[in-house]
């Protein structure tokens, strides 16, 4: 992947019908200092709790070993030796797919017994050359290694066999949906909508796999993870007035000159920008809600919201991984953050005395603390590039 591209990563899963836990595990880890994102998809032997334990252990160990650049054969053998043994089959086993995505050297994909990945380029399925290597101590453990350089618009899709074997044994699909069927479906979806997000594509793959199953009930754990490569989508968030009032003009110019989407969080902040740029603020009463004040409109700005209450609500939704309950100002800000790749917070440091009132709720934190909370989740969970600048 070139330095000019970013990757959006989303995963959708469905546990086997009748089970309380999914036996597939998908995890990602960002290593900013190396310009690197690691992702692992593992499918544990069996079903339910046992499979979940095996896949979770495998994914965790794979992330740690690959991050340390441990030799891949040795890493695989370490994982296999560490897994608990199934009392029935007398083996400890989980499949895995590792995607090692480096900005400077491209992408390396390591697969062991998961269905081969799917690459869609320019709306068409593209095949990538691979090589196989076998474990020295476990000859039945063979890994397939592929390398590629991502291009804008590429979709890389990794799957567990619950997806490719959907419909297995049914009259129309005696051999299951198979990788070829998945590949045709994915290519068709991207052709129909070239801007389709990673999350939407992953959900459509899962839905289509379930459609193949009798009664729409998953006969195995199902996982589809999508990597979507594109040019970065930048977002600027201004919040809080500058410490020195003589910097109000500079503050407004930062927003006016930014090349990307823009949001203002804070009534005083919006008034400063409106005054300095000669623009009007119009309240959007359709976004009224109990938890947060309504948003507003301003020319040249994608979203204007109240400050502390709205930011606190967004931090809560992100930390708890909750979907917004209604279409209010916090939901709109959350959507902007999730749909952006690089996020710049410019935070004013002038204290707003109204928010130091001891009668306010404990969760009503000062602006800088809330934005740090939001940034932490965006970086660690959503793999965003986030910068905070104080003024």
Per-domain boundaries in the chain:
6-227, 234-390
**CATH code for the domain defined by 6-227:** 3.60.40.10
pTM of the prediction?
A: 0.83
Q: What CA–CA distance (Å, rounded) separates 62 from 318?
A: 26
Phi-psi category of residue 266: left, alpha or beta, with phi > 0 → left and psi -120 to 50 → alpha:
left
Q: What mean pLDDT, rounded, does the chain reach?
A: 89
Given pLDDT bands bounded at 50, 70 and 90, which one contains residue 94? confident
15 has a pLDDT exceeding 60 = yes
CB 206 within 8 A of CB 189: no
Given pLDDT bands bounded at 50, 70 and 90, which one contains residue 288? confident
Question: Does residue 193 sit in helix, strand or coil?
Answer: coil
Q: The tokens 């989508």 sit on which residue?
A: 233
87 has a pLDDT exceeding 70 = no
1 has a pLDDT exceeding 60 = no
Of 229, 69, 207, 90, the residue nearest 149 (C-alpha): 229
Which of 118-127, 136-145, 214-223, 224-233 has the weakest average pLDDT?
Answer: 136-145
For residue 387, the surrounding DSSP H or E stretch is strand 385-390
Work out whether the CA dihedral 27, 143, 50, 58 comes out positive or negative: negative
Given pLDDT bands bounded at 50, 70 and 90, which one contains residue 361? very low
Question: Does residue 140 sit in helix, strand or coil?
Answer: coil
For the chain, helix (H) and strand (E) counts, in that order, are: 10, 18
Q: What percentage of the chain reaches a pLDDT higher than 70?
A: 92
197 has a pLDDT exceeding 70 = yes
Q: At residue 186, what are phi and psi to the nearest 5 degrees?
A: -65, -45
């Amino acid at each position: 992947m070139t330095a000019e591209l970013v990757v959006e990563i989303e995963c959708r899963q469905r546990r086997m019908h009748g089970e309380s836990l999914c036996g597939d595990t998908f995890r990602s880890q960002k290593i900013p200092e190396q310009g690197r994102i690691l992702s692992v998809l593992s499918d544990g032997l069996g079903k339910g709790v046992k499979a979940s334990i095996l896949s979770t252990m495998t994914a965790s160990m794979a992330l740690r070993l690959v991050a340390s650049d441990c030799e891949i054969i040795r890493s695989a053998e370490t994982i296999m030796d560490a897994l608990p043994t199934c009392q029935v089959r007398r083996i400890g086993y989980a499949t895995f797919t590792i995607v090692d995505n480096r900005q400077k050297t491209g992408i390396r994909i390591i697969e062991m017994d998961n269905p081969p990945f799917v690459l869609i380029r320019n709306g068409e399925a593209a095949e990538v050359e691979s090589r196989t290597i076998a474990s020295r101590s476990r000859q039945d453990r063979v890994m397939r290694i592929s390398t590629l350089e991502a291009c804008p618009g590429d979709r890389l899709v990794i799957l567990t066999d619950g997806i490719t074997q959907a419909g297995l044994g049914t009259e129309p699909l005696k051999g299951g949906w198979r990788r070829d069927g998945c590949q045709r479906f994915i290519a068709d979806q991207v052709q129909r909508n070239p801007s389709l997000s990673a999350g939407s594509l992953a959900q459509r793959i899962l839905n289509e796999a379930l459609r193949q199953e009798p009664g729409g009930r998953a006969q195995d754990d199902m996982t589809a993870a999508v990597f979507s490569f594109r040019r970065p989508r930048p977002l600027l968030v201004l919040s809080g007035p500058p410490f020195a009032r003589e910097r109000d003009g500079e503050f407004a110019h930062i927003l006016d000159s930014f090349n990307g989407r823009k949001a203002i969080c804070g009534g005083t902040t919006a008034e400063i920008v409106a005054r300095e740029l000669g623009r009007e603020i119009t309240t959007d009463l359709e976004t009224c809600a109990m938890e947060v004040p309504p948003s507003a409109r301003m020319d040249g700005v994608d979203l204007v919201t109240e400050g502390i209450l709205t930011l606190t609500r967004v931090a809560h939704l992100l930390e708890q991984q909750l979907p917004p309950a209604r279409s209010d100002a916090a939901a709109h800000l959350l959507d902007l953050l999730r749909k952006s790749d690089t996020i710049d917070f410019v935070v004013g440091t002038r204290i707003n005395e109204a928010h130091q009132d001891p009668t306010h709720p404990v969760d009503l934190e000062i602006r800088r603390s809330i934005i740090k909370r939001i940034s932490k989740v965006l970086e660690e969970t959503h793999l965003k590039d986030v910068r905070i600048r104080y003024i």
